[in-house]
Structure 1
Amino acid sequence: MTVKQYYQDAYIKSFHTYIQEQKLGESGWYVVLEETAFYPTGGGQPHDTGTLQDKRMINVEEVNGEIRHYIEEPFSDISGVVKGQIDWERRFDHMQQHAGQHILSAAFAEALQYETISFHLGKEVLTIDLNVSDISESDALKAEELANRIIREARPIETKWVTQTELSDYPLRKQPTVTDEIRLVIIPDFDYNGCGGTHPRSTSEVGAIKILDWEKHKGHIRLQFVCGERVLHQLHRKHGLLKELTSVLQAPEETMVPTAKQLLVKQKEQEKALEGLKDVLLTYEAEGLLGTHKDGFILIQKAYSDRPIQELQKIAQHIISKREEAIVVLVVQNDQKLQLVAAKGSLPTINLREVAQKVFPLINGKGGGKESFVQGGGEAVMGKEELLEILVNEL
């Protein structure tokens, strides 16, 4: 079996070894090494990347005890010594995040008796699922403060291999899922946990922990946080956004929230006023369509381009509210969509719904309504004027 150097020393950045075999699997070419410092995906921690000789390492996984190193292309010759180079920035980030997760989960357990039931290490943030249905801001802050105190105390992070019978000697947060080759990650007098991941030597190397947000997820609380260098990345990004917003809002950071709220109130007032003006204009437009029809039966028809169907509805409703004998047929084309509105006053006896149902199939469309008012749409398989002509003929 491959010797797992990442368990001997998580700080190994490069190593030399021999290739035992090279195979083409379902996921591509991979090699099995005599020794490896490349960590395979497992325990919530993503795999390492880097290079093996001149080949880029794209994935590492352990399958039935075999550590498979997937490379972008096969070696032409697998004899001789090869050099492995770890992407150290990625590895150390994973070490910081994974250790930070242990610390934060232990802090929630110690301060609040909240159990962590799952963990995910993503590219930008980490998540843990807490076995509670709700959490307060003060609870989150309490656990975060304890976690960061443990980091500042620079406590050692130890690893130890134990047997199942030896587990009772340690106050574990939860029982390991394996029964042999059990590896414990220990922060003395704080956290004892079965784990196969890579970790730094001291809690101080985690740097800091910052909780970002949380949400309810399947009856539990899913909490988002970052550790180490990711805290600085988050701070840098959000500080940049704040600087940009202070410039856009022309307000200092301390008054940014009330300034933004005031702008939103003004925007809603302006939108309401604009909607009122649009209604007035639509009323004038409807009156203009009525202007050439003084007495007797009225059929008003018109085709438009690039207008919301809601405007056509308002025009039609205004006309039939003014003239009981009116029938209104309006068509609009918006991009590759044809839409229609038909309405009638109380005097015409025609059933507009029956008329529309004959027309909708011609444009691969659908719609609905009642005898006196229908609307719907479909594909622009014909011109808007042609559709309007068909509707009028059906009437």
Structure 2
Amino acid sequence: MKELETKKLYYDNQYTRSFSSKVFKQDEDENGRPYIVLEETAFYPTGGGQPHDTGTLNGVSVQDVEEVDGEIRHYTETAVELTNNKCIGDIDWERRFDHMQQHIGQHILSAAFEESFSYKTVSFHLGKEVCTIDLETGELAEEEALEAEKLANNIILEDRPVKTKWITEEELPDYRLRKDVAVPGDIRLVIIPDFDYNGCGGTHPDSTGQANALKILHWEKEKKKIRVSFVCGQRVLDQLHEKHQAVQGLTDILNSPQEELGSAAKKILEQNKDYEKTIADLKKQLVEFEAVDLVKNARNFKSLRLIQAVFQERLITDLQQLAKLASAGGNDIVVILVNETGSKLQVVCAGSDNAGINMNHLIKEVLPLINGRGGGKGSFAQGGGEKTMPAEQLMEELVKSAEALHS
């Protein structure tokens, strides 16, 4: 054995849950994280799309496992106390077996897509809740996904053996591999006889039946490829439970049986669209009435009529509509509206054709006072900035500027 080369117990027996080992090295990395390098380990390090194992060493939590410069580092929560330079390791078996189920499921699903449609898998990710594969195709029909899923579950149901074998590069031509092997030197094959031959360094169960079941959840376009999301084993039951809870909740809310949920939801959405249109029409009418009221209460301003109003938390779209409607109420109207919303001030100004005040110039006269930005045209302008002064004071500055511009 080379110096610091750890024996990988997860290759000898992937079902090993506890082990004892001497310690090669205990140190900290450049970020101050404590780690241990062991003579032998059952902890799988992150690699090949599969996350690392977790567990404990002498009761101390193992939070990460990585292969760095040829050594397998077990990053622990704190430094580990050693007895006779030895560690007792315990694997989080639930996490390990879940990873084994997902990984063999990926092999089976990838082989199913390739055998059925010649769609190659170019990448794999084993996520905390969902796994994904990227297929080398620009589109995927639902019938194709269902056929691949059915084939994958048949392979699982047949409970075929999953074998591993170490070979040399010279022996590669003797095997019909699903994809090229990128690792030099000795190569580890994971084999499902008469179905899939694949170079892989991950952990897998020793039979396909231990994947229990496989379910494709959805797929989407990812650049020029198709990303397929799926789950295996216990995750299938977890997904089923989650979706059943959601469906049960909807049946209660919509007061409809499961088979009628789609039509019930569609009916509600259509009703909501009608309600939203009615609400929009009513809001428009209210703004129109409000504009008429503002015009009635406009005050004389030199040869013009001035409408000025301060609002709190109004929608800017309401103010825009209100200013335009009010300014259309005569040939001599100037409208200045200020809105206070949170820590911001907003300004909307509008003028009728013969008002004689350029609204763009007006608003740009005062925006520096509130560190604001904005602009517009001669007949309409808007902007906003910080609440550096009360809204009423900003209104006074706007009126002063309007008076100066009119003169």
Give the TM interval when normalised to the shorter protein.
Answer: over 0.9
Alignment partners' CA distance in 2, 1:361 and 1:147: 67
Alignment partners' CA distance in 1, 2:342 and 2:175: 68
Alignment partners' CA distance in 1, 2:85 and 2:315: 72
* Kept in 2: contact 1:22–1:30 (CA 8 A): yes
Matched, 1:103 2:132: no
1:335 to 339, 342, 351: 342
Q: Which moved more, 1:71-80 or 1:87-96?
A: 71-80
Map of 1:366 onto structure 2: 373
Alignment partners' CA distance in 1, 2:371 and 2:21: 66
- Gaps spanning 5+ residues in structure 1: where? none
Aligned length: 395
- Aligned CA RMSD, in angstroms, stands at 1.2
TM-score normalised by structure 2 residue count: 0.95
Q: Which moved more, 1:282-291 or 1:102-111?
A: 282-291
Q: CA deviation at 1:349?
A: 1.5
Query: 1:237 is paired with a residue of what secondary structure?
Result: helix
Map of 1:303 onto structure 2: 310
Q: 1:187 and 1:349, CA in 2 relative to 1: closer, same or farther beyond 3 A?
A: same
Alignment partners' CA distance in 2, 1:288 and 1:335: 27
Map of 1:256 onto structure 2: 261
Matched, 1:19 2:39: no
Matched, 1:40 2:45: yes
Q: Percent identity?
A: 52
1:387 to 373, 389, 394: 394
Q: CA deviation at 1:76?
A: 4.3
Query: 2:328 is paired with a residue of what secondary structure?
Result: helix
Q: Give the partner amino acid of 1:371.
A: G
Where do residues 32-111 of structure 1 align in structure 2 (5 Å cutoff)?
A: 32-77=37-82, 79-111=84-116
Alignment partners' CA distance in 1, 2:290 and 2:355: 23
Alignment partners' CA distance in 2, 1:79 and 1:294: 94
Alignment partners' CA distance in 2, 1:176 and 1:335: 59
Query: 2:48 is paired with a residue of what secondary structure?
Result: coil
Query: 1:322 is paired with a residue of what secondary structure?
Result: coil
Query: 2:283 is paired with a residue of what secondary structure?
Result: helix
Q: 1:201 and 1:47, CA in 2 relative to 1: closer, same or farther beyond 3 A?
A: same
Matched, 1:216 2:221: yes
Alignment partners' CA distance in 2, 1:258 and 1:75: 60
Alignment partners' CA distance in 1, 2:35 and 2:370: 55
Q: CA deviation at 1:293?
A: 4.3
Q: What are the Cα deviations for residues 20-39 of structure 1, in whole angstroms up to 9, with x where unaligned? A: 11011124111111110000
* Kept in 2: contact 1:366–1:376 (CA 8 A): yes
Q: CA deviation at 1:79?
A: 2.8
Matched, 1:164 2:172: no
Q: Which moved more, 1:156-165 or 1:76-85?
A: 76-85
Q: Give the partner amino acid of 1:351.
A: N
Query: 1:346 is paired with a residue of what secondary structure?
Result: coil
Q: CA deviation at 1:357?
A: 1.1
Q: 1:164 and 1:316, CA in 2 relative to 1: closer, same or farther beyond 3 A?
A: same
